[in-house]
């Protein structure tokens, strides 16, 4: 699988940019998956729903299925959080995996930077950042992408992912 990440501070516009880039990549016929890191407690379920009740009762995994989608939730309980490589191994085969968050992962990343967020740039301290998507004037030798041009960001991703030798070394499913 080809993998490229997006890293940046909260409020920089990562999610909005990724959403627009996914639409561009999908329109080009690429099968795209996404792994997003959450820094806080999150729940995809709703209090009181059957699946929530079953997880709360002690189920380690709950799979919910319908004619339109299925979702598998796994409670880690006292297990450690899975590293990115293990999470990649859980995905079905696709053309490209986008990763949001995982700032310290050893994958090529596009830094999403907005000066008004008031946080420092990440690229000077992260050798895995391969480009910067920004609306600011940034002094760098890295490719600078217009944060407001998802077509240009998608063009960069396709060129980078499919002309460089980077692929994820994902473990076998269940590993």
Residues 132-143 have pLDDT tens digits of: 999 999 999 999
> What digits encode the pLDDT tens for the residues 74-95?
888 888 888 999 999 989 999 9
Pairwise CA distance, residues 120 & 28, whole Å: 34
Q: For 41, list phi and psi in degrees, rounded to 5.
A: -65, 135
Between the CA of residue 72 and those of 56, 89, 138, what are the distances in Å? 15, 15, 41
Q: What is the pLDDT of residues 2-58, one digit of tens each?
A: 999 999 999 999 999 999 999 999 999 999 999 998 866 667 777 888 888 888 888
Domain-wise residue ranges, the chain: 2-43+80-163
Residue pLDDT, tens place only, 84-132 = 999 999 899 999 999 998 888 999 999 999 999 999 999 999 999 999 9
35: helix, strand or coil: strand
Residue 174 pLDDT greater than 70, yes or no: no
As a whole number, the mean pLDDT across the chain is 88
Helices 14-27 and 150-163, interaxial angle, to 10°? 70
Residue 2 confidence (pLDDT): 93
State the distance between the two ends of the chain, measured CA to CA, in whole angstroms. 17
**DSSP designation for 82:** P
Within 8 A by CB and 6+ apart from 44, the residues are 71, 73
Fold assignment, 2-43+80-163 = Rossmann fold (3.40.50)
The Cα diameter of the chain in Å comes to 54
Instruction: Provide the phi-psi class of 59: left if phi over 0, else alpha when psi is between -120 and 50, else beta.
Output: beta
What is the reported pLDDT for 170?
A: 34
What is the value of pTM for the model shown?
0.85
Q: Do the beta carbons of residue 14 and residue 114 sit within 8 Å?
A: no
pLDDT, residue 41, reads 67
């Amino acid at each position: 699988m080809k993998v490229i990440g997006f890293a940046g501070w909260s409020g920089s516009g990562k999610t909005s940019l990724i959403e627009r880039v996914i639409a561009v990549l999908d329109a080009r016929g690429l099968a795209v998956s996404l792994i997003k890191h959450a820094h806080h407690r999150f729940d995809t379920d709703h209090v009181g729903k059957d699946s929530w009740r079953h997880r709360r009762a002690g189920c380690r995994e709950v799979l919910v299925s319908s004619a339109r989608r299925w979702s598998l939730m796994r409670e880690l309980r006292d297990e450690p959080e899975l590293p990115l490589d293990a999470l990649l191994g859980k995905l079905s085969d696709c053309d490209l995996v986008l990763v949001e968050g995982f700032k310290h992962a050893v994958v090529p990343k596009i830094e999403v930077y907005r000066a008004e967020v008031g946080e420092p740039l990440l690229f000077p301290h992260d050798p895995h950042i391969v480009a910067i998507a920004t609306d600011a004037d940034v002094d760098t030798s890295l490719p600078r992408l217009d944060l407001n041009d998802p077509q240009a960001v998608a063009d960069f991703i396709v060129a980078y992912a499919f002309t460089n030798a980077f692929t994820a070394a994902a473990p076998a499913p269940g590993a």
